[in-house]
């Protein structure tokens, strides 16, 4: 989508937020242009959103996509607050021609989570925490606590968007060699939104760029594999049982994408056999993970309930993207983070 120019470039732009925004955040959106008119109608489900979407609204800010477009005759653009948009697949908004923009770049803390989990796993914190809780100081366990020193190791990052690039920057600071697998190796410069001072906009950190079709080559050369790719039809079970067997013995897997990217049964078996040295998961399939699931008992696993994107300033970051996109929308310019439906993200 190149722009939004039409016959009326001077009239009001009616924006509906179905999420609760602070007065400061609303004023930030109003400050973009005197044409912006923001209304807030906090909605808890898709039915309420459909009812709130009156015909005069042309821009919607929502975290949900499970609403009908019956009354949304003027809606032209949806700004989401998540980086991933798989929750929109198959919905009315997805099937429409309405533009969708993601909040890709608003969650650099996910990269911090990836590195924190990796460090904890590499330095055997799950095992040491077990000893701590048991009140055991065990010299006999020292060999089992031998860390995997990260300096000089190779981290393979699958997907090189805003989160993947910030993960690469932090990993480089630890002294790791960065390799990436991406859909298009010719697009090395990042053209989405990134928080100032984060990431690798020019794509200079990776020592090796591989197309996703050569993922196996990345797996056999990486001591750590980080999944930072969106969930789409082409990435579901991307790390299947066969590919898990190709990973380096003792490698660590970090999944900050979506649970369905991985064959979880095969991953659990690899953890139990020791073929995988550890795993860090902030996402599972399904979510929430039911009590009694085998993942809860898997060894050398750090598991968290999809919290890596949380931060006190996350919504302010999203508002930065939304405000810039509103400026572009009012000016008839191309939006940032436009979702490509043919790719699924």
pLDDT (tens digit, 0 to 9) for every residue of the chain, 345 residues total? 445 554 457 899 999 999 999 999 999 999 999 999 999 999 999 999 999 999 999 999 999 999 999 999 999 999 999 999 999 999 999 999 999 999 999 999 999 999 999 999 999 998 899 889 999 988 777 877 899 999 999 999 999 999 999 999 999 999 999 999 999 999 999 999 999 999 999 999 999 999 999 999 999 999 999 999 999 999 999 999 999 999 999 999 999 999 999 999 999 999 999 999 999 999 999 999 999 999 999 999 999 999 999 999 999 999 999 999 999 999 999 999 999 999 999
Asked if residue 8 belongs to a domain, the reply is no
Asked if residue 125 belongs to a domain, the reply is yes
Q: Are residues 207 and 253 part of one domain? A: yes
Q: Are residues 155 and 59 part of one domain? A: no
Q: Are residues 194 and 118 part of one domain? A: yes
For position 144, what pLDDT does the model report? 78
Residue 171's DSSP bridge partners are: none
Locus of tokens 């509103």: 326
Measured distance CA(79)–CA(62) in Å, rounded? 7
Q: Compute φ and ψ for 32, nearest 5 degrees.
A: -65, -45
Q: 109-122 vs 125-134: helix axis angle to the nearest 10?
A: 70
Q: Are residues 122 and 225 part of one domain? A: yes
The H-or-E segment that residue 225 falls in is strand 224-227
Asked if residue 117 belongs to a domain, the reply is yes
Q: Are residues 84 and 153 part of one domain? A: no
Asked if residue 5 belongs to a domain, the reply is no
CATH number for the domain including 52?
3.40.50.720
Is 14 tagged catalytic? no
Asked if residue 254 belongs to a domain, the reply is yes
Q: Are residues 182 and 285 part of one domain? A: yes
Q: Are residues 179 and 243 part of one domain? A: yes
Asked if residue 7 belongs to a domain, the reply is no
Asked if residue 2 belongs to a domain, the reply is no
Measured distance CA(29)–CA(329) in Å, rounded? 12
Q: Are residues 127 and 69 part of one domain? A: no
Q: Are residues 252 and 198 part of one domain? A: yes
Q: Are residues 129 and 102 part of one domain? A: no
Measured distance CA(49)–CA(88) in Å, rounded? 14
- Annotated catalytic residue, options 14, 153, 248, 258: 258
- Annotated catalytic residue, options 306, 327, 328, 341: 306
Q: Are residues 165 and 245 part of one domain? A: yes
Asked if residue 344 belongs to a domain, the reply is no
* Domain stop point among 284, 303, 322: 303
Q: Are residues 164 and 76 part of one domain? A: no
Domain count for the chain:
2
- Annotated catalytic residue, options 47, 144, 287, 297: 287
Residue 179's DSSP bridge partners are: 156, 208
Is 297 tagged catalytic? no
Residue ranges making up the domain that contains 292 = 109-303
Locus of tokens 């939006």: 335
Structure tokens at 107: 């969650």
| Predicted structure pTM score | 0.94
For position 6, what pLDDT does the model report? 45
Residue 252's DSSP bridge partners are: 224, 278
């Amino acid at each position: 989508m190149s722009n939004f120019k039409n016959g009326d470039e001077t009239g009001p732009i009616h924006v509906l937020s179905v999420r609760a925004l602070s007065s400061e955040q609303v004023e930030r959106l109003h400050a973009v242009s005197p044409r912006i008119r923001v209304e807030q109608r906090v909605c808890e489900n898709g039915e309420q959103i459909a009812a709130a979407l009156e015909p005069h609204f042309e821009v919607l800010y929502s975290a949900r996509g499970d609403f009908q477009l019956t009354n949304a005759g003027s809606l032209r653009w949806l700004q989401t607050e998540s980086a991933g948009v798989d929750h929109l697949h198959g919905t009315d908004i997805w099937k429409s021609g309405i533009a969708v923009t993601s909040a890709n770049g608003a969650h650099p803390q996910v990269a911090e989570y990836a590195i924190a989990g990796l460090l904890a796993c590499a330095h055997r914190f799950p095992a040491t925490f077990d000893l701590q809780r048991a009140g055991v100081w065990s010299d006999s366990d020292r060999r089992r606590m031998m860390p995997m020193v990260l300096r000089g190791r190779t981290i393979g990052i699958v997907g090189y968007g805003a989160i993947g690039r910030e993960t690469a920057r932090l990993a480089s600071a630890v002294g790791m060699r960065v390799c990436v697998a991406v859909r298009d190796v010719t697009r090395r410069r990042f053209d989405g939104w990134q928080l100032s001072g984060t990431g690798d906009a020019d794509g200079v950190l990776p020592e090796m760029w591989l197309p996703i079709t050569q993922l196996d080559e990345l797996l056999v050369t990486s001591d750590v594999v980080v999944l930072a790719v969106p969930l789409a039809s082409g990435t579901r079970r991307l790390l299947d049982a066969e590919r898990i067997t190709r990973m380096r013995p003792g490698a660590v897997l970090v999944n900050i994408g979506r649970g369905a990217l991985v064959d979880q049964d095969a991953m659990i078996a690899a953890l139990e056999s020791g073929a995988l040295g550890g795993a860090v998961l902030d996402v599972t399939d399904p979510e929430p993970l039911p009590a009694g699931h085998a993942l809860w008992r898997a060894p050398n696993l750090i598991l968290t309930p999809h919290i890596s994107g949380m931060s006190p300033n996350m919504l302010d970051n999203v508002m930065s993207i939304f405000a810039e996109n509103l400026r572009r929308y009012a000016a008839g310019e191309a939006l940032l983070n436009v979702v490509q439906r043919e790719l699924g993200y």
